[in-house]
Each structure stands twice: as structure tokens, then as C-alpha cells.
Amino acid sequence: MPVAVYRGKGDIALDEKPVPTPGAGEVLVEVSHCGVCGTDIHMVLEGWGPPGIVGGHEWSGRIAAIGLEVDGWAVGDAVVGGELVGCGACRMCASSRPSLCEYRPPVTGDGHDGAFAQFIVTAAAGLVPVHDGVSLRNAALTEPLAVAMHAVTQAAVRPGDRVLVTGAGPIGLLAVAALRGCGVEDIVVSEPTKGRRQRALAVGAARAVEPTDLDKPLMPMDLVDEPMDAVLECSGRVEAMETGLGQLRRGGRLVFVGTGMSTPRLDNNRILLNELVVTGAYNYDAGGFTAAIDLIASGQVPVDLLIEPDDIPLTGLLDAMHKLAAGELVAKVLVVPEG
Ligand SMILES: [Zn+2]
Ligand SMILES: [Zn+2]
């Protein structure tokens, strides 16, 4: 089967591998669509990944074969999967925080190949059925939407709150959609690229500004004129992290959603004097995939604005990663791996 293998920094190439066999508790899925994630881009363009890996974790497809000890699934079922459900027994899982499971796999993956491939083997425990009436193409948004919804959970926002989203790439746009999905309307997006600002407004932001438009209060006790209840930092950029902290009202929350290689300098006195909360959002809420695909099925999510119109083959992956990193592609890019 065709796969896109990461070979080293900036290098990803089409290769052939044997179709894998599902083990106990696993299924084989023929991949329909797989989204390109910021993590995939960091892995390839910045060289985070160990050479030889196959990325891609935002996939949808149909079950092609079933391993031993798997109940409730049939060949041909439309699924999304790869949801990390946690061990179910540790303190974090017991408090419904599977993203912090003490036994979660490393960030670089669990050793299984990802879905930039025609087939993927995956744990049956992490499968969620795709609703009738939801296309496999739209269903491929489940994982990143679940990530965005978890970021909203971490921001602890309520309808009526004012929220800043820094960075309107694919995950920032999904964050806007997730905020709208829970009734938040006063959403400001800060984003340097004009096309992405326009898209953010179309998805449901109330205002879109350039990052340089954001005030930088001088003293730690000073607040901006219209402070935010929460900031969802989706760009991974140091300036956005540092400026984002300065936009919060007293008691506000800064949530890191986008990963980045450089470390910000956060004003500790601003955090202290205003009792700001700085936290992160990793993976998803308990049951996050089900909540995300339910939201997609509800029709409330403007999927056509969140997915690039042209899907790409495996051979187009590196080019798409460069264009996403440069902001030339606005929304989520989907790979159709059949080649
Ligand atoms: Zn992702
Ligand atoms: Zn656990």
C-alpha cells in the first residue's frame, strides 16, 4: 500500500509498505481522508519526528478487517478513530481527564504508523461511528474539532464572555467554530494574514485584527481597554503568547493550544496581580470525539469554510505543509491517500 514516510527534516516521500494486520483489540481501516495537523508540520518541517515514521492522526475511513477480541464493529463500518481514551484507572482518568492519563503514549505516537497511508491499524477502543448523513470527508474534522473543543473547555468560558483567538490557521478557525458552538459570540481573532482574517469572520468571529493592533499595557497592573475573559493561543508564536497574556481581564485564562519551538517570557507580576490562569490544552475532553462528531452532524459547524476545497494525494503532502506554514492555505487540508 502507498504511505508517506518522514525521512528527515523537510523530507517526506512516497513509499510502499505491506498492509498491516490488526492485532487483538484492533481493526484495520481503509483511510478515506486524513487532515494535515500543525503537529505533522512541526514533525516534518522542524524535524521533531524520528525518521521512518508515518504521520497523520486526523482520519476517517471504513473498517476493512477486524482483529481478535473486538466486539460491536463490522467490516464496512464508517468510522473515525485514534481517540486516546486513557487507561480508565489512573487518578487523571478517574477525574475525566484522559488527556492527562498517567499512561498516555508519547507525543510522537504509540509506535503505530499514522494515516498518511491507504490503511491504518488502530485500537477498537478509540473508534467512534460516523453518523448517517455525515460524509467521511467532513468526519475527518472530528479530531481537530475535538482538540478545539477541549481548548474551549480549558478556557472555562461561558456565553457572554469575550474571547481572543490568536492565530487563525486551521486550529484557530476550529476554535472559533467551537466557541460559537457553545454560545460565545464576542470573539476577536488576531491574525497577520488577510485571507485568514476574512475566513475567521466568515466562520463566526465578531472582529478580526492584525496582531500589531493589540495594545501592550506597560505596567503589570494595567489592563487593556476591552480586556478578554480568555485567550486561546493557536499560533504557537512567542509574540502571540506574550501579547495574549496582556489582553486578559483580572482572573482571565490564557490557554496554549498551538505548539511552538520558542519559549515566551510571561510577566509573572501581571499573572500575580491579576490572578491570571495560564494553562494548556492537550488532546480532548473525555468523550471528545463523540461530542465533536455530534456537533458536525448538527450542521452548526461551517465545515466548508474549515476545509480547503481541494483534497490532495499523498504526493502533495510536503507542498501543502509548506503552504500551510506560510499561511497560503487557509483551512484544514485533507489528504486522500489512495494515491
Ligand atoms: Zn491534530
Ligand atoms: Zn489513565
Please give the distance, rounded to the nearest whole angstrom, from the Cα atom of residue 50 to the centre of ligand 1: 18
Amino acid (one-letter) located at 216: K
Please give the distance, rounded to the nearest whole angstrom, from the Cα atom of residue 111 to the centre of ligand 2: 19
- Joined grid coordinates for residue 274: 491579576
Please give the distance, rounded to the nearest whole angstrom, from the Cα atom of residue 109 to the centre of ligand 1: 12
* Cβ–Cβ < 8 Å for 144, 37: yes
d(CA 14, CA 338): 12
CATH class of 146-280: alpha beta
Ligand index nearest the alpha carbon of residue 87: 2
Ligand index nearest the alpha carbon of residue 86: 2
Query: What is the separation of C-alpha 187 from the centre of its chain, rounded to a whole number of angstroms?
Result: 19
* Cβ–Cβ < 8 Å for 89, 164: no
Reference 40, options 5, 64, 74; nearest CA is: 5
Please give the distance, rounded to the nearest whole angstrom, from the Cα atom of residue 56 to the centre of ligand 1: 8
β-strand pairing of 26-35 with 58-66: antiparallel
Tell me what pLDDT residue 42 has.
Answer: 84
Domain positions in the chain are: 2-140+307-335, 146-280
Please give the distance, rounded to the nearest whole angstrom, from the Cα atom of residue 237 to the centre of ligand 2: 31
CA distances from 123 to 1, 80, 112, 220, 336 (A): 20, 11, 10, 48, 21
Tell me what pLDDT residue 50 has.
Answer: 84
CA distances from 301 to 138, 195, 250 (A): 10, 19, 31
Ligand index nearest the alpha carbon of residue 89: 2
Ligand index nearest the alpha carbon of residue 258: 1
Q: Is domain 2-140+307-335 in CATH 2.40.50.140, yes or no?
A: no
Q: How many CB atoms lie within 10 A of CB 136?
A: 18
* Cβ–Cβ < 8 Å for 19, 28: yes
CA distances from 167 to 121, 175, 240, 260, 307 (A): 33, 10, 8, 12, 16
Please give the distance, rounded to the nearest whole angstrom, from the Cα atom of residue 117 to the centre of ligand 2: 29
Q: How many CB atoms lie within 10 A of CB 186?
A: 18
Buried b (16+ CB within 10 A) or exposed e, 270-284: bbeebebbbeebbbb
Q: Which residues pair with 335 in a beta bridge?
A: 34, 312
Name the stretches of the chain with pLDDT < 70: 108-110, 339
- Provide the sign of the torsion angle of the four alpha carbons 286, 117, 31, 180, taken in this order: positive
Ligand index nearest the alpha carbon of residue 59: 1
pLDDT tens profile 236-262: 999 999 999 999 999 999 999 998 888
Please give the distance, rounded to the nearest whole angstrom, from the Cα atom of residue 35 to the centre of ligand 1: 8
Neighbours of ion ligand 1 (CB under 5 A): 37
- Name the CA radius of gyration of the chain, rounded: 20
Tell me what pLDDT residue 39 has.
Answer: 83
Ligand index nearest the alpha carbon of residue 146: 1
Please give the distance, rounded to the nearest whole angstrom, from the Cα atom of residue 75 to the centre of ligand 2: 30
d(CA 18, CA 1): 6
d(CA 159, CA 145): 19
Ligand index nearest the alpha carbon of residue 286: 2
d(CA 114, CA 9): 18
Helices (H), the chain: 38-45, 91-94, 136-139, 142-155, 170-181, 194-203, 238-245, 268-274, 288-297, 303-306, 317-325
Ligand index nearest the alpha carbon of residue 55: 1
Ligand index nearest the alpha carbon of residue 97: 2
Ligand index nearest the alpha carbon of residue 41: 1
Amino acid (one-letter) located at 224: V
Tell me what pLDDT residue 339 has.
Answer: 54
d(CA 206, CA 330): 18
Please give the distance, rounded to the nearest whole angstrom, from the Cα atom of residue 103 to the centre of ligand 2: 6
Amino acid (one-letter) located at 18: P
Q: How many CB atoms lie within 10 A of CB 322?
A: 15
- Joined grid coordinates for residue 89: 484507572
Please give the distance, rounded to the nearest whole angstrom, from the Cα atom of residue 95 to the centre of ligand 2: 9
209 membership: H or E segment, kind and range: strand 207-209
Query: What is the separation of C-alpha 13 from the centre of its chain, rounded to a whole number of angstroms?
Result: 24
